Amino acid sequence: MTFVDGEQNVIKGVIFGNLICTCSILTSDLRRAVLRMFTDNETESMVQPTPQSKIKCWTRAVEVTLRSEGYILIFTMMLLLSMERLLMFGNMRWHRFVFSTSHKRYWYIFCGVILISKIVVDWVTAQEQFGAGLEPICIYFSTPSQTEDIVIIAEIVVMIISLMGQIYSLILYRYRCDRAEGLEKMRLLRERRTTNGIVVASIIVFFSEILPWTLNLALQQCSPCMNMRILFISVRYLGLLFCAFLSIFIHPDIQEGVTQLIVYPVWKRIGRSCYKKNHPVYLGT
Listed by start position, the domains of the chain span 5-268
Return d(Cα 89, Cα 108) in angstroms, integer.
Answer: 24
- Please tell me the predicted confidence (pLDDT) of residue 283: 47
pLDDT in tens for each of the 285 residues of the chain? 344 455 666 666 766 777 777 777 777 767 766 766 765 544 444 444 444 456 666 666 677 777 777 778 878 888 888 888 888 888 878 888 887 777 778 888 888 888 888 888 777 776 665 555 455 556 555 555 566 677 777 877 887 888 888 888 888 888 888 777 777 777 777 777 777 777 777 777 777 777 777 777 676 666 666 666 566 666 666 666 666 666 666 555 555 555 555 555 555 555 555 444 444 544 444
Return d(Cα 218, Cα 262) in angstroms, integer.
Answer: 43
Facing residues of 50 across strands? Answer: 134
CATH number of 5-268: 1.20.1070.10
Return d(Cα 98, Cα 91) in angstroms, integer.
Answer: 11
- Please tell me the predicted confidence (pLDDT) of residue 1: 38
Q: Rounded to two decimals, what is the model's pTM?
A: 0.67
What is the 8-class DSSP label of residue 281? P
- Please tell me the predicted confidence (pLDDT) of residue 199: 75
Return d(Cα 188, Cα 195) in angstroms, integer.
Answer: 10
Residue in 194, 171, 191, 175 with CA at minimum distance from that of residue 183: 191
Facing residues of 134 across strands? Answer: 50
What is the 8-class DSSP label of residue 40? S
* Helix locations, the chain, DSSP H: 5-37, 42-46, 54-60, 62-90, 92-98, 104-128, 146-179, 182-205, 211-218, 226-250, 252-258, 264-278
Return d(Cα 98, Cα 120) in angstroms, integer.
Answer: 28
What is the 8-class DSSP label of residue 210? I
- Please tell me the predicted confidence (pLDDT) of residue 42: 46
Return d(Cα 190, Cα 210) in angstroms, integer.
Answer: 30
What is the 8-class DSSP label of residue 259? I
- Please tell me the predicted confidence (pLDDT) of residue 109: 87
